Amino acid sequence: MSAGFLPETTSTTCRACRKPVEAILLPRAFAPASPPPLPGAPPAPGDALCFYDSTQKATCLCSQCGVLVSDSWSADWGSRKVCLRCLEKLRESGRDSSFESTRLMWDNICLLLSSTIFILIFPYFAIIAAPAALVLGIRAWNRPRSLVPRSRFRLIVALVLSSLQILAMLVGIYFLIQAMLTS
């Protein structure tokens, strides 16, 4: 091998299951590990101080809240620098989709609940599921759906199905009461 040659692909065997594995190695695999920088010298008079730790020197600006923070209190998020508190708030609030790690699919949940009468063996579950689908559908109307943009079609279908089921149940109850009264 010549100096600097980096094998692009390699075939080997997994140590656990002995199956052949194809691996494409990238330059990062051979880069030396870079440990986080140790805290530097205490800040000199006149130096900007970290907002969260006054014993450290501020090295960057949080792109979210604008405070000056040290490297220990900041994190790289793509091309942005955010302080750790903003990172936690952004992940919890979910308002910024680039910080979201998970999302509930309310439209699919409502669709499943409104379809229980068709997919479950016991249609009596619809007595609970249909109203639940209607309430959840109305509450989730303005909530964000999948990260991949899609319409409210599923939500509309769920609302229509659940409404029809509730209507059918009410009509059934009406006729049942009528029959009980006449008998």
Partner 1 sequence: MTPTLTVRYPMPKAPEGYQPLLNRGSRGSLWLADDHLLVIETTRFLLSIRETYRRLDFTNIQAILHTKSQRGAWLIVLISVLLVISLLILLLAGFDNRAALFFASALALPALAALVVHFIKGQTRALMIQTTVRPWRLKMVTRHSHVIKVLTALEPLCREAQKEIPHTPSNPDSAPASTFKPFPSAPPVSSDNPPSMAGAHPLAFPAWLCHMTFAAMMGGEMIWNSIAATLLMMCFAAASFTCMMIAFTRGGGSLAIGGRGVFIFALSMLGVSLVAGYVAAMAGVVQASIRGDSSEFSSEESFLRAISEFPEGSPDALSIVAITIIVLTGISAVAGLLATVRRNKLQRTSMEPTTPPSS
- Listed in sequence order, the DSSP H helices in 116-152 are 116-119, 126-139
The token duo for 19 is 């199956």
| Stretch touching partner 1 by CB under 8 A, among 84-92, 96-104, 163-171, 173-181 | 96-104
Q: Is 17 in the site for partner 1 (CB under 8 A)?
A: yes
Q: Is 24 in the site for partner 1 (CB under 8 A)?
A: yes
Q: Which has the closest alpha carbon to 66: 85, 42, 91, 38?
A: 85
Q: How distant, in Å, are the alpha carbons of 39, 61, 73 from that of 82? A: 19, 8, 9
CA angle in degrees (0–180, nearest 5) for 79-84-89: 95
Q: Is 128 in the site for partner 1 (CB under 8 A)?
A: no
Pick one of 48, 54, 93, 104: the residue that binds partner 1 (CB under 8 A): 104
| Stretch touching partner 1 by CB under 8 A, among 40-48, 50-58, 145-153, 160-168 | 145-153
Q: Is 89 in the site for partner 1 (CB under 8 A)?
A: no
Residue 76 has phi, psi (to 5 degrees) of -85, 125
> Is residue 8 within 8 Å of 1, Cβ to Cβ?
no
| Stretch touching partner 1 by CB under 8 A, among 37-45, 50-58, 78-86, 174-182 | 78-86
Which residues are at the interface with partner 1 (CB under 8 A)?
1-6, 12, 14-33, 77-80, 96-98, 100-105, 108-109, 111-112, 119, 144-151
